[in-house]
Amino acid sequence: MVSISTSRSWVEIDLDALSHNVNYLSSLLKPKTKFMAVVKADGYGHGLITIARHCQRIGITAYAVATIDEGIKLRKAGISGEILILGFTHPIRAFELYKYHLIQSIIDSKYACELSWCGFDIDVHVKIDSGMHRLGFDVNDIGSIEELYEYNNLHIKGYFTHLCVCDSNKRSDISFTKSQINSFNRLINKLKKYNDVGKIHIQSSYGLINYPEIDCDYARIGILMYGIKSSHSDYLKIKLDLSPVLSIKSRIATIHHLVKGTKIGYGLTYQVTKDSIVATIPIGYGDGIPRQLSSNGYVLVKGQKCPIIGRICMDQMLVDVSRVKNLTSNEVVTIVGKDGNNEIRIEQLALAADTISNEILCRIKKRLPRIYKGANYIKIK
């Protein structure tokens, strides 16, 4: 039985915070725009099934995943509504797309031909490359796109593109994003003259906030749904009322009283400069904590900031707790989250590790049990 009382380290997921974030972000959508919850990569490390089930309880009816296996897991878990696979699925698995009523992204003409050749009726959304050059039909190649309507068993249910610099307020990036939006809209308007284009979607989290004038059928909301930004430097046009959904906790395993000059940890790279109290915390890079935080980060103990000292190990880290009074082993330690008046955010870990919050979340290993708190199933307004 997984519980906080018996876990060495764990992840806490606040479902009430998730409800709040979804409700708040939904209030920013245009009246006809639906919220598509992006739950790929194990729900950004929060837990694919529990996050999707909670979203379903509060009224979400559309989901985006990266792989067919993620989509199948959702169906087997009782998730109804539309499930869009954003990434590549091998054509040999076409029957599973049909069986589980999954929507597949079509990324080029060759792929469409191979998927159609399998013979199953499959709902698809057409991915349009409007400038990122990752996946999709060139936005100017209307001829190849119109040929898709000749495949009788591929049922086009939508078109979408991705804005790759919509989190920036650089003049050149704003100009590029607007060119992406305009070129995509021109394509859709041309296609509409003779074809049913289905549902249209352009916005991701940052697209919703920084380009609120976009009026489509869906907005694909990922990172902001979980209450965090990809990085501190990301531009947001408005101040957001969001709450982080995820916290990471551990506990003190043992406490050492070290004299001035003692060297500690792998490589003996850190030397205490005064008599110090050092705690061993049973969490490390094997759990997903960036090793770059070695002597370059802190944790919270009884609401106080305590520096990480020495090299972070695979399963443990050392922390200077000299300032904290009346400490004993088993005391809870906050790696990410709030404790008293202080807070450590995922964005801070990402900054120290020279990466983005998305990657930090995806690094969090399954050996850290997820403890889900709250379940205020308020329907989205």
Instruction: For residue 5, give the 3-state DSSP assignment.
Output: coil
314 is in an annotated binding site: yes
The first and second tokens of residue 193, run together, are: 């003259």
Residues forming a β-bridge with 248:
11, 336
Three-class secondary structure of residue 113 per DSSP: helix
Separation between Cα atoms, residue 130 and residue 136, nearest integer Å: 8
The phi, psi pair for 329, rounded to 5°, reads -65, 155
3-state DSSP assignment of residue 310: coil
Going by C-alpha positions, the residue among 222, 175, 242, 199 that lies closest to residue 81 is 199
Is 220 annotated to bind ligand?
Answer: no
Q: Is 306 helix (H, G, I), strand (E, B) or coil?
A: strand
In this structure, are residues 339 and 302 in contact, taking their beta carbons and an 8 Å threshold? Answer: yes
Long-range pairs for 137-143 at CB < 8 Å and ≥24 separation? 137/106, 137/107, 137/108, 137/109, 139/183, 139/184, 139/187, 140/183, 140/187, 142/187, 142/190, 142/191
Residue 271 DSSP one-character state: E
Q: 72: how many CB neighbours lie within 10 A of its CB?
A: 18
* DSSP secondary structure string for all residues of 84-101: EE-S---GGGHHHHHHTT
Catalytic residues, by residue number, are 40, 266
Cα(119)–Cα(151) distance, integer angstroms: 10
Closest CA to 357 of 366, 345, 365: 345
SS3 assignment, position 277: strand
Whether 11 contacts 36, CB under 8 Å? no
State the binding site for substrate. 134, 314
